[in-house]
Structure 1
Amino acid sequence: MLDIKRIRKEPEEVRRRLASRGVAAALDPVLKLDEQRRTLISESEELKAERKRRSPEIGKLKKEGRDTRALQEEIRGMGDRIRALDEQCRGIEAELEQQLLSLPNLPHGSVPAGEDETANPEISRSGEIPPFAFEPRPHWDLGARLGILDLERGAKLSGSGFPLLIGAGARLSRALVQFMLDLHTTEHGYTEVAPPFVVNADCMTGTGQLPKFREDMYCTEGDELFLIPTAEVPLTNIYREEILEGPLPVRLTAYTPCFRREAGAAGRDTRGLIRVHQFDKVELVKFARPETSCEELELLRADAEAVLQKLGLTYRVIELCTGDLGFGAAKCYDIELWAPAQERWLEVSSCSNFEDFQARRARIRFRDGDGKPQLVHTLNGSGVALPRLIVAILEQNQREDGSVEVPGALRPYMGGMEWLTPDS
């Protein structure tokens, strides 16, 4: 959430940066409501001061034996007006908070300008696009031939977008999770967490999913608990409404399933594993000091890239321009894997610095050098998501006979298995 004090102090600068995201007009109702709120507060405070000044006169008039009814009526009228103003102010404040919650974060000054994803610059590339002497098969064809991916039965169980992994496919998924958790905890300094897979509305609001993305979420009836769209939500909210007393940065990692309705995404990438409603992911979350959060973002990105490097996969890194940034991100890198059969890049990780955007919503603070509580900066990134990772492993490592080579880094997690074949 943006700081209303900053909006009030630098309205044109905030508007300019929101304009780079195409939402400058969203600032207008915020400024209007804030002005109304301050006007109401000013009038209420003036009346309270006047009432305080005039009230002692009642006792003075009584001592003099004079009639106090007119003055008492006047003061009662002040009280009635004060209560009406305060009630009106509370309504304005609630509306203002909703408007603030709907505003996206301001892009960091280093983010390249651009209207959409076509303006995202490529930062780096690792590996060569693998050449094939044959026409590479798509992962859904490979998975079916190998007997490790059954999309039809998955749809029978839960509907489209809920894939079913079987045999070596399920083992591959489990191996990837174990491999990534071991890598991040033993080499990158993250603490592993096993969080709940459902959270309350406060958690979803704290990280920015609510209120804007409610339709994209799965929600239980009655108690309104939300199936998590990413482990970012429970990990970040571990410290909601707390002051971090230990040294920063704090680094957390977790495996969870993730659930997303993705309302409005029907018809887009619906075949195979490219866009699904349930998927597994290993998430990375950091809590950092404001002065080091940019550096921590680069380290976070490197941690996610290390997964792909150790698996020997071809990937690239792009930086998101202002018009393509996610709702809460101030700066973001996307890591994309090459999918040979589709001849396209597929996002497998987004690494973002939210600065104090989430911390203000969730009231997460740390103590500065003077011991004063300040808002922490939060960062997160996929380390990484499994569906498109499996897509790249299958498609980049396939052979003409339909077999798939298992990356060397995964073989210890798969009982020494070197190849995925129909009988594996």
Structure 2
Amino acid sequence: MRRWLALLVAATTSLVLIALLVPMALLIRAVAENGAMSRATTAAESVAVAVGTDELAVAVEQVSRPVTVFLPGGGLIGAQAARSDAVRLAATGRSVTAEAPGGREVLVSAQSPEGTAVIRVFVADAELMRGVREAWLALLLLGLGLVVLGIALADRLALAVTRPVDGLARVSHRLAGGDLSARAEPGGPPEVRSVALALNHLAARIDELLVAERESVADLSHRLRTPLTGLRLDAESLRDPEEAARVQARVDALERAVSSVITEARHRSAGRESCDAAAVVRERVRFWSVLAEDQGREVTVTLPDGPLPVAVGAEELAASVDALLGNVFAHTPEGVSMAVRLRPHPTGALLSVEDAGPGFEPALLERGNSGGGSTGLGLDIARRSAESSGGGLTVSRSADGGARVDVLLSRP
């Protein structure tokens, strides 16, 4: 927008300056030519006064420019010059201005007792254009200066408009990323300030709705737990053991489904969290290393030296790491080695968990399925955590023929 405004102002200013400066330049040249011709005419008339007197030669010498007097008898006084058609025309009693090689000639006729004399004053082109080029150069510099000044003012004006708009865009991106504390600073033109205030009002309203949703989720949790507890007590009071076990299983399944729905609702209504992925992975690997040592598994861990922030909460990332490592322990024989690697990525961090087990089947990657090769529900947990941060999950074979899971986590 700044560039387009600058181009618009440059074009407009250039057109206005051309419309003003070109006529002014022509006027300056005309004024210079008129001045030179007027001075030549005055000089010629001062000599014409002395025609027919003995002081004519003195008058010619006193003029500081080339002057020629064509006498009626064919003689001349002063600078040598050819008797042109314009001179012959002036000899008829008319004052003439004519073009001549290298300039112009001013011809003034004067009457003497012998006849009509013609006074010729030559005006060179250099005198006609004296000071004109300097004036044109000054006008050109003035025009360029005005164009540059207009562009600078347009850029400052555009900056006053685009800077608040850029701020609004950054705030909207932060809000879209889950940062509900982001607020715009009202500034710029009144219309932009109105948009900033409206965006802040929208952000506050979204925050209020999310708070209300979290309260509703908490209330929903209390409301559903009570009837589930009653159903469980009713199931335990049944006399038929098989019927009691069947109803108890249904109650357990319903409770898991309700818990899953409440957890998902809390996750959606919660603000976007972040954590240090290196610290979380290091802590979870240390937890699982005890079991790995008992089973004789060799664990290779590669972590960055410094912190590696990601757009996932610490508890959620820990659950994902536990799910991936738990799959390895659950679906590979004891003694199978495994590797955990966490390294920086251009968009955040890349967590890789691989083993030397029997591998996996692609059909086993659906949610809720399990099978050989570290697949099953744990992959879905890790996938959802990665996608919630803006990343993703891919599964492939490791270099040892086992399973490899790559979890891409975006930065906050």
Pair in the same fold by TM > 0.5:
no
What interval of TM-score do these two structures reach, taking the shorter chain for normalisation? under 0.3
Structure with bigger gyration radius: 2
Q: Looking at secondary structure, tell me which structure has more helix per residue.
A: 2
Higher RCO (Cα < 8 Å, 6 or more apart): 1
Q: Report the TM-score, using the length of structure 1 for normalisation.
A: 0.26
TM-score of the superposition, structure 2-length normalised?
A: 0.27
